[in-house]
Amino acid sequence: MADLSPQYEPTDDAGARARRVAIICVSVVGLMVGAAYASVPLYDLFCRVTGYGGTTNQSDTESTIILDRDVTVRFDSNVARGLNWKFEALQGPQELKVGETGLAFYRATNLSDRPIVGTATYNVTPQKAGAFFMKIECFCFTEQLIEPGQSIDMPVTFYIDPEIVDEDYLDDVETFTLSYTFFEKEGEG
């Protein structure tokens, strides 16, 4: 009697399926690695656009409108662990009108025996008002190279956007804190 049961014969379909699964797996891993690298700049862009996390906005010009609403701007300075710099605000709090241009200076001193390139991150508290803190010029827009023992004074020019008065949930905001943290640029150390 003849064997009528189906016989398994390997075909090229099995090899093609294995290659397809391997390509899919490699593609997924590649997408995950790409997403990991893109997440920081995408999050930064999201924060700049929405003001989320106290991220400030940038303006090319000063405000042309000054309102009769007083605000206080305080200045905070921090240095990341491992960066041998002294970093400080050179003035105390400033009293300004909404829309009035303010100018503040920070000083960074390289306490190490080698040149260091630093970059500053920043935020504003209260976070809900960060999008209305407008920077015209800021040392945080560029990297800062400081030689051993050198000190540099760095300005920031800013104002509070007059559109803040259109937001009822910000009526209680009277004080802003502009905070910077300096980090050593990756790959420079």
pLDDT digits (tens, 9 = 90+) for 3-50: 666 665 656 677 788 888 888 888 888 787 776 666 555 555 555 554
| pLDDT score of 18 | 82
Q: What are phi and psi of 22, to 5 degrees?
A: -65, -45
| pLDDT score of 64 | 72
Which CATH number is 53-184 given? 2.60.370.10
| pLDDT score of 107 | 97
Every domain of the chain and the residues it spans: 13-50, 53-184
**DSSP class per residue in 48-114:** HHH-GGG--EE-SS--S---S-EEEEEEEEEE-TT--EEEEESS--EEEETT--EEEEEEEEE-SSS
For residues 93 and 74, the answer to whether their CB atoms sit within 8 Å is yes
**CA-CA distance, 175 to 95, in Å (whole number)?**
9
**At residue 185, does pLDDT exceed 80?**
yes
Nearest to 73 by CA among 139, 157, 145, 165: 157
**At residue 53, does pLDDT exceed 50?**
no
| pLDDT score of 59 | 58
| pLDDT score of 144 | 94
Residue 149 DSSP code: T
Least confident of 5-9, 78-82, 101-105, 180-184: 5-9
| pLDDT score of 134 | 93
**At residue 127, does pLDDT exceed 50?**
yes
Write the pLDDT tens digit of every residue in 86-98: 999 999 999 999 9
